[in-house]
A = this chain, B = another copy of it.
Amino acid sequence: MNGIESLLYGIGIAGVAFNAAAGVLDAGRKPFDLFGMVVVALAASLGGGSLRDVLLDRTVFWIADQSYLIASIAAGLATFALVRFVRLPSRLFLLPDAIGLALFTVSGTQAALAMGAPWLVASLMGVITGVFGGIVRDVLCNEIPLVFTGELYATASWAGALLLIGLIEAGVGAGWAALAAGALVLVIRLGAIRFKWRLPVFVARI
């Protein structure tokens, strides 16, 4: 495994851990038992990548390599232990969720490009990998998915995926392109949370 591959592998593991933590923090506001927590952590952290791999007909990443499964369960249990002893602000899960979104957008887009997907499909795979786990998490927690609530979310993911594809097309190295794309997702998403950046909401006429 060379440097770039190690970097992308680390990005994937870190994305799984952050999304598992966000899942537990989100589920923590509901009367879930320990196992329900673990299920939400697994769904939030493995859901997007699983859907991407099934659609692309690749071997599902956490079946090919158990490390992701272990990272998800470990991060979920660690977060669970933490929140039993420390009182955390209720919107804290937005931070690991944003980091997970950035990491998964990059790893999802890279995986689709590596399969030879055309650019529109590859960027959509980045978005699916980034947002699908969070949708499943919110549906399991019986909340309106974050992605639909107006603040820039999937838009941040799509912008990052398109930047990544553009930079790679322009000949920029995969490591720098991944860094720039992930940073763009994070900046847009955190800015959207802080400054309430939104897309125009549809005014229903019907």
A-to-B contact residues, CB < 8 Å:
25, 27-37, 39, 42, 50, 54-57, 59-60, 62-63, 66, 69-70, 80, 83-84, 86-90, 92, 117-118, 120-121, 124, 139-140, 142, 144-145, 147-150, 153-155, 158, 198-206
> In the bound complex, how far is the Cα of B55 from the Cα of A39, in angstroms?
16
Q: Are B87 and A205 in contact (CB-based, < 8 A)?
A: yes
A147: which of B29, B39, B150 is its contact (CB, 8 Å)?
B39
Residues of B within 8 A of A124 (CB): 42, 69
Q: Can you show 10 pairs from A to B with CB atoms below 8 A apart?
A: A28-B205, A29-B204, A35-B153, A35-B155, A35-B199, A36-B147, A62-B121, A66-B120, A70-B120, A88-B205
CA distance A37 to B204 in the complex (A): 12
**Contact at A202–B39, with CB atoms within 8 Å?**
no
Give chain B residues whose Cβ lies under 8 Å from the Cβ of A33: 148-150, 198-202
Contact A201:B66 (CB < 8 A) given known A90-B206, A154-B39, A206-B92: no
Q: Which residues of B contact A70 (CB under 8 A)?
A: 120
CB-CB < 8 A to A37: which residues of B? 202
Decide: B205 and A84 in contact? CB cutoff 8 A: yes
A69 close to B120 (CB less than 8 A): yes
Bound complex: CA of A93 vs CA of B29, how far in Å? 29
A14 to chain B, nearest CB (A): 20
Extra contacts, 8 of them, besides A31-B150, A31-B201 (Cβ < 8 A), are A25-B206, A33-B201, A35-B199, A36-B147, A56-B63, A66-B120, A69-B124, A92-B206
Interface centre among A86, A88, A124, A153 (most CB of B within 10 A): A124
Q: How far is the CB of A200 from chain B (nearest CB, A)?
A: 6
Kindly provide the distance from the CB of A21 to the nearest chain B CB, expressed in whole angstroms. 12
